[in-house]
A and B are shown apart, each in its own frame.
Chain A
Amino acid sequence: MWLSLWQGLTSVRLALLSLLLVGLGSILGTLLPQRQALEFYQERFGTVGAALIGRLGLDDVYRSPIFLSFIALLLLNLIACSLKRLPEVWRQVQSQPGLEAYKTLPPRLQLTWNRPEQSPQQFLMGALPRLLGRPKVVEDNGTTWYLIRRGRWGRLGPYIIHLSIIIVIIGAIIGNLGGFQGQINLMPGEATDVLRLTDPPGDKKLDFSIRLDNFQVSYYPNGTPQEFRSDLTFLQGGQPVKTAILRVNDPVTFGHLTFYQSTYQAMPQGPVVLEATLGEKTFMVEASLRQRLPLPDDQGMIMVWKVESNIMGLGPAVQLAYRPTGGGHPLLFWVLADTSRGQPPQPGPLTFRIKELALTYSSGLLVKYDPGVGWVYLGFLLMLPGFWLALFVPRQRWAIAVVPQGKGKYRLTIAGVGDRHKIVLQRRLEKLQAAFEE
């Protein structure tokens, strides 16, 4: 019973099954919209369907116990298989097979050596290292054997790959259990020592603080962002200990935390000054961000809803929300600061123009602690030689028997096996043959 369980756990059949299960789970996660509200699923799949989805965790497949158990199965399978096979494989790699093992190799080619000017021994010792590898020479009952073993380390390849996958998965587990991720938003000049955690939500106090000295955005001529850059200072006990420039794709590490440039938000610096026109009349209003402002003459209310530093390549703009008197839905529209190029249409009776708009930015940093990422990268590194050995180092054994026939004649029998790579074996044989005939 235990034996068959062990056998099952180490089998390739289980490997295929766990690959299939992880695959199917992954497919489901891409087809079914993930992490939506309960109502979303109820609307589409009915109450029962939504309840089932919730119960099985299909609204968050990749964190669901079922999916994680598939991965656990895969991990277990890999570990079990390695434990079972590795000692034996290691012995195989280390072993020096005796002549008897080579005598049973299937013959591939037979030749008669008929060149009095050179003995086959001389020729083989000269040519073999180049063609097949350095041979071991064994005398046996008058026959001379040239034994060659190639690619013995290739046998280890799959096991190194398996080990590296185990290490990657373990690294991911360590990162998920022991790590955290959060967000920091800073205005230029502002400093903080509090990290807003995203998953699970909460605040975390740091033992140092971080200050944003400057933030810059640059744009291509067509308006797409070219670069975001935050100049940071890390402070300990009020003293600056490190300054760093943070860019997208170029994270900064301090202590065990890593900082990434993640978002930014344009903000008006001081109030936005607007000129409103109604028929013949014009008047000025000063509005701060997200602050309701009643217009004179009972003309309703406006609010600066959003500012952008560059909207579609047209430069800075303000999004206004206008609510007419007597309520109703607020109307949202953009007003460009650059008045030379015309304006998008504005609903409502008033026309707005921007008189003064000074922008500043807040910078959004993603902050991460992941104790597992080193293990993941170690796994990645280990995987490369593993692949090389497993896929591109074919294992072969060759035996060339030289039997003297008298009068300077010899019979040569070339025997060999190779795993998997039939064509590789074939090519070697062709080369050998060509060398002999030359």
Chain B
Amino acid sequence: MSAKLLGWVLLLYFSGSLLYLVAAVFQQRPLNLPARWAVLGGWGLHTLSLIWRWVESHQLNIGHAPLANFYESLVFFSWAVICVAYLSFWRQMRDYLGSFVAILACLILAYASFGGHASDIMPLMPALKSNWLIIHVITCFLAYAAFALGFGAALLYFFVSRPATVKKQRERQAQLLVTAQDLDDLIYRAIMIGFFLLTLGILTGAVWAESAWGRYWSWDPKETWSLITWLVYAGLLHARFARGWQGKRIALLAVVGFAAVLFTYFGVSFLLPGLHAYLT
């Protein structure tokens, strides 16, 4: 069973995160290497379990990519976080940032496994049978993963640059092995990657909706919230490119943007119907 593998994946991500943390807190840089092996090993198994689930669905004669329900999307999200982080930021994935990424993937996966979501492989309804939908879901989740990374870097930025004397701050940055400047750059690059992928996600979603429902845009809450997320990040990029914002303000916008991502992903599904229910 593909789900059994995920237990090992969880364990590997968790130990990777711990190792990274020990490496950072106790300044034991060599520990970054086993940490990386643990996380990447976990990611390999994670990939295997995704493929396996795909095969299983074919054995059930309802073959489809494992991206069809909330459980499957969470598992994929967790996978995407590691994928984007290591693919785009191989060098930066160490110490605190490495630990953050690994624990984030771990938490998402744990929520998928133990959050009580239906994890059975279900057949696809006709409207969901589209290659556009697969590309759409993949690009959206890779985008979310990149934004999560930007969020993590923003948190670390606040931590690194919290008020102190210049001397103290320099000491702190030396201890953390990362400067505020590096983090600022990382936030912005993660968000560029995420923004590009989110745009692709919205476009492919529109093309799919046009072929399934005959409307490329219908202002449904999920769509609308992905647009809102897009607008926040477009605002961030303009503030940075054209008005030269940096540092705290960009980090703050990265946090706001990630809040919009979370609302698009979870809030629309759980809170908006709830809100409607409350209103009615």
Interface residues of A (CB under 8 A from B): 12-13, 15-16, 19-20, 22-23, 26-27, 29-31, 33, 44, 62, 158, 172, 181, 220, 222, 224-228, 247-251, 258, 260-262, 366, 368, 373, 376-377, 380, 383-384, 387, 391-392, 420-423
- Contact status of A423 and B185, CB under 8 A, knowing A15-B238, A19-B234: yes
Q: How far is the CA of A228 from the CA of B215 in the complex (A)?
A: 19
Residues of B within 8 A of A384 (CB): 200
Residues 237-280 of B at the A interface (beta carbon under 8 Å): 238-239, 241-243, 268, 272, 275-276, 279-280
Residues of A within 8 A of B107 (CB): none
Q: How far is the CA of A430 from the CA of B101 in the complex (A)?
A: 27
Once the chains bind, are A251 and B211 in contact (CB under 8 Å)?
yes
Task: Give the Cβ gap from A377 to chain B, nearest Cβ, in Å.
Answer: 8
Closest to A250 in B: B211
Once the chains bind, are A222 and B214 in contact (CB under 8 Å)?
no
Task: Give the Cβ gap from B243 to chain A, nearest Cβ, in Å.
Answer: 6
- Contact status of A228 and B126, CB under 8 A, knowing A23-B232, A251-B211, A422-B185: yes
Task: Give the Cβ gap from A24 to chain B, nearest Cβ, in Å.
Answer: 9
Task: Give the Cβ gap from B253 to chain A, nearest Cβ, in Å.
Answer: 11
Once the chains bind, are A29 and B125 in contact (CB under 8 Å)?
no
- Contact status of A26 and B224, CB under 8 A, knowing A33-B279, A222-B123: yes
0/1 per residue, B184-227, Cβ < 8 Å to A? 01001100110110011001001100111111110101001101
Interface extent on B, as a size class? 35 or more
**B69 sits at the interface (CB 8 A):** no
Once the chains bind, are A158 and B129 in contact (CB under 8 Å)?
no
Once the chains bind, are B235 and A248 in contact (CB under 8 Å)?
no
Task: Give the Cβ gap from A117 to chain B, nearest Cβ, in Å.
Answer: 35
Q: How far is the CA of A368 from the CA of B215 in the complex (A)?
A: 9
Interface residues of B (CB under 8 A from A): 62, 122-123, 125-127, 129-130, 181, 185, 188-189, 192-193, 195-196, 199-200, 203, 206-207, 210-217, 219, 221, 224-225, 227-228, 231-232, 234-235, 238-239, 241-243, 268, 272, 275-276, 279-280
Across the A-B interface, the 6 shortest Cβ-Cβ residue pairs: A248-B126, A12-B242, A220-B123, A23-B231, A260-B214, A30-B221
Residues of A within 8 A of B211 (CB): 249-251
- Contact status of A262 and B214, CB under 8 A, knowing A23-B228, A30-B225, A33-B279: yes
Once the chains bind, are A391 and B195 in contact (CB under 8 Å)?
yes
Interface of B is mostly: helix
Residues of B within 8 A of A380 (CB): 203, 206-207
Task: Give the Cβ gap from A152 to chain B, nearest Cβ, in Å.
Answer: 17
Q: How far is the CA of A258 from the CA of B216 in the complex (A)?
A: 13
Residues of B within 8 A of A387 (CB): 196, 199
Task: Give the Cβ gap from A46 to chain B, nearest Cβ, in Å.
Answer: 14
Q: How far is the CA of A421 from the CA of B200 in the complex (A)?
A: 22
Once the chains bind, are B192 and A20 in contact (CB under 8 Å)?
no
Residues of B within 8 A of A392 (CB): 192, 196
Task: Give the Cβ gap from A36 to chain B, nearest Cβ, in Å.
Answer: 10
Once the chains bind, are B231 and A249 in contact (CB under 8 Å)?
no
Residues of B within 8 A of A29 (CB): 219, 224
Q: How far is the CA of A19 from the CA of B275 in the complex (A)?
A: 25
23 of the cross-chain contacts (CB-CB < 8 Å) are A12-B238, A15-B242, A20-B235, A23-B231, A23-B235, A26-B225, A26-B231, A33-B279, A62-B219, A172-B217, A220-B62, A225-B126, A248-B126, A249-B126, A249-B130, A260-B213, A366-B213, A366-B214, A368-B214, A380-B206, A384-B200, A420-B241, A423-B185
Closest to A34 in B: B219
Once the chains bind, are B123 and A383 in contact (CB under 8 Å)?
no
Residues of A within 8 A of B216 (CB): 373, 376
Q: How far is the CA of A247 from the CA of B219 in the complex (A)?
A: 24
Task: Give the Cβ gap from B217 to chain A, nearest Cβ, in Å.
Answer: 7
Residues of A within 8 A of B242 (CB): 12, 15
Task: Give the Cβ gap from B85 to chain A, nearest Cβ, in Å.
Answer: 16
Closest to A381 in B: B203
Q: How far is the CA of A26 from the CA of B228 in the complex (A)?
A: 7
Q: A226-B126, A391-B192 are in contact. List 15 more A-B contacts (CB 8 A).
A: A19-B231, A19-B238, A23-B232, A30-B221, A30-B225, A30-B268, A31-B272, A172-B217, A222-B122, A227-B126, A228-B126, A248-B212, A249-B126, A250-B211, A420-B241
Once the chains bind, are B126 and A247 in contact (CB under 8 Å)?
yes
Residues of A within 8 A of B217 (CB): 172
Task: Give the Cβ gap from B269 to chain A, nearest Cβ, in Å.
Answer: 12
Closest to A422 in B: B185
Q: How far is the CA of A329 from the CA of B280 in the complex (A)?
A: 25
Residues of B within 8 A of A26 (CB): 224-225, 227-228, 231
Once the chains bind, are B123 and A224 in contact (CB under 8 Å)?
yes
Closest to B195 in A: A391
Residues of A within 8 A of B215 (CB): 368
Residues of A within 8 A of B232 (CB): 23
Task: Give the Cβ gap from B91 to chain A, nearest Cβ, in Å.
Answer: 9
Find B235's partner among A16, A181, A222, A383 (CB 8 Å cutoff): A16
Closest to A43 in B: B280
Closest to A229 in B: B126
Once the chains bind, are B235 and A391 in contact (CB under 8 Å)?
no
Task: Give the Cβ gap from B178 to chain A, nearest Cβ, in Å.
Answer: 13
Closest to B227 in A: A26
Residues of A within 8 A of B228 (CB): 23, 26-27
- Contact status of A12 and B235, CB under 8 A, knowing A30-B221, A30-B272, A33-B279: no
Once the chains bind, are B224 and A30 in contact (CB under 8 Å)?
yes
Q: How far is the CA of A22 from the CA of B225 in the complex (A)?
A: 12
Residues of A within 8 A of B221 (CB): 30
Interface-centre pick from A23, A181, A261, A377 (highest chain B CB count, 10 A): A23
Task: Give the Cβ gap from A394 to chain B, nearest Cβ, in Å.
Answer: 11
